[in-house]
Amino acid sequence: MKITSQQLIFFLDILLKSSLKKMYFYELKFIGMKTRIIGFFLLFEASFMLITSLVALYYFYQCGDGDVLALTVSTIITAISGFILISAGRSNGKSDRQNIENFEVKDSFFLVTLTWIIFALFGMLPFLLNGSIRDVSSAFFEAMSGFTTTGCTVMNDIDYQPHGILFWRSIMQWLGGLGIIVLFLAVMPALNRNSNKVMMFSAEMSGIGVKKLHPKMMMTARKLLGIYIILTILCAFVYYMGPMNIFDAICHAMTTMSSGGFSTHQASIGYYNSPYIEYASSFFMFASGINFSLYYFLFTGQGRLFRENEELRWYIGAVVVMTIILVVLFYYAPELSTVTTNMDSYPEGFENRFRTSLFHVISMTTSTCYQAHNFDYDLWGGLFLIPTFILMASGACAGSTSGGIKIIREVIAIKSINNIFRRLLHPNALFSVKVSNEVIDEEKTQRVINFLLIFLHLYVIGVLLFIVSGSTLKEAMFNCVSALGNSGPGIGSTGPSLSFSELSNMGKWTMSALMLIGRLEIYTVLVTFLALFRGSKY
């Protein structure tokens, strides 16, 4: 039987329309599944808001705090929004599982990026409803700073804030420390049964060196969460043994182990004027900067992997060397510097100088950025700004809660550059990059180099945006590295003794964007927005 051209066109037209119709319904189901996942995330956030509301209720009866209503309403709004999204994306169970199995890497990147933004949007509600922060730009800035564990704040009256608001600031950082996605995977079995958990985990924990502790990613997330909780409890106990009350101890433990830096006092750790607290804080901040996978190996009798980890050795070496440099600077900076220094801000005596140097180095390296009793590096003189800037950009170990570039990337880059010079001297020789006796392939090495280049370009763009928003060049340089490195303090009008309240709205939104990009280690956010810019469907 012959088929005419008209019949062929008619047949292709029906086939095309049928295919498009199927694709349309598939896309609707696919989007629906993402909507449901976001809804579950909001319920997850609402559950922690509820805990915070109970804390506020307790202190309402204890000391008359007035933030119960704001936190309760925030909880209700967040929970209702979550239920609405879950209902809107509801479909039959078989289709959900099939849709999740078809998730691509870009879908995981999109969900992770969107989750952090949505968490910040709903996380700012308690501040606005309670009147702690009165404008949206500042409230979103505070929430994003909390969830990304950056630690920048716009609050100038922290000591007068009610307990519920202070607890919410701490719990935001605790959630963001290990990663909202990791926590979610650890406690939500329905999602853990599906394959997209691996991609979402890698999109959240995108740093090199995060080892899989179990064949099932759900179990890896749970082991990391278990280690995180144990260290947080231990930290709270040690703090409580000092001058901190139970509330301050719990709040500071959450922000210490998350490398966040939010405090319940405007003077931060310096409020206690206690060497015990400063040494304890230094120890646990240092612990938060270690790859959490190594703790698992240590606790399970695989201490050799802990001892032989090269990144850890570089981390310890960097802390030791930089601490020595700062101690020396405290003795000789006034003579070496041509810039006037404020000697009243210097610690006195060797022990005090050593403790201040150790605290400052660890605080900046891990991006916690607490303030000790002698804390204002802005008054120490120009010679202290260079090492402080380097520490803020560097960061600690991959797989930790710290921000920054991460030491493992710096080690790989240094060894890669070294190989370039070796090849020039020995053109016929073959050289490879090795870290902890493990060969780093060319693809990973190139990805590290690309990361550093993108980080540098983003830094330059960020500095320009801050200058346009009204910051001086010096302030723009520190604000940008503080945001991209999730560190916290700035310099000048945003220095360690001040807040970011005077930053313009443009500066706050710029910094919020950079904090998100830095927390998700650049690739996740840029891939998402690049796909959106090109018109790729999610």
CB atoms within 10 A of CB 233: 13
Greatest mean pLDDT range, 49-63, 213-227, 420-434: 49-63
In this predicted structure, what is the pLDDT of residue 23? 33
Share above pLDDT 90 across residues of the chain, in percent, rounded to a whole number: 48
Side-chain half-sphere exposure of 432, counting CA atoms within 13 A = 11
535 vs 519: CA distance, rounded Å:
25
Residue 219: what pLDDT? 73
pLDDT at residue 342, rounded to an integer: 63
| Alpha helical stretches, state H, 179-274 | 180-187, 189-192, 196-204, 217-240, 246-257
* Nearest by Cα to 213 from 254, 232, 185: 185
Q: Is the dihedral of CA 449, 454, 457, 458 positive or negative?
A: negative
Q: Residue 534: its pLDDT value, please?
A: 62
The lowest-confidence range among 213-227, 242-256, 274-288, 489-503 is 213-227
Is it the case that residue 221 has pLDDT exceeding 60?
A: yes
**Taking all residues of the chain, what is their mean pLDDT, rounded to a whole number?**
83
Question: What residues does 435 pair with on adjacent strands?
Answer: 438
Residue 35 binned pLDDT confidence (cut-offs 50, 70, 90): confident
Q: Where residue 94 falls among pLDDT bands split at 50, 70, 90?
A: very low
Of 287, 295, 288, the C-alpha closest to 224 is 295
Q: How far apart are CA 473 and CA 469, in angstroms?
A: 11
pLDDT tens per residue across span 45-76: 999 999 999 999 999 999 988 899 999 999 99
Q: For residue range 278-293, what is the model confidence (pLDDT) as tens digits?
A: 999 999 999 999 988 8
Q: How far is CA 51 from CA 8, 240, 320, in A?
A: 65, 21, 40
Bigger pLDDT: 262 or 430? 262
Q: What is the pLDDT of residue 438?
A: 81
Asked if the model's pLDDT at residue 93 lies above 80, the reply is: no
CA-based R_g, the chain, Å: 25
Amino acid at 522: I
Kind of pairing between the strands at 433-435 and 438-440: antiparallel
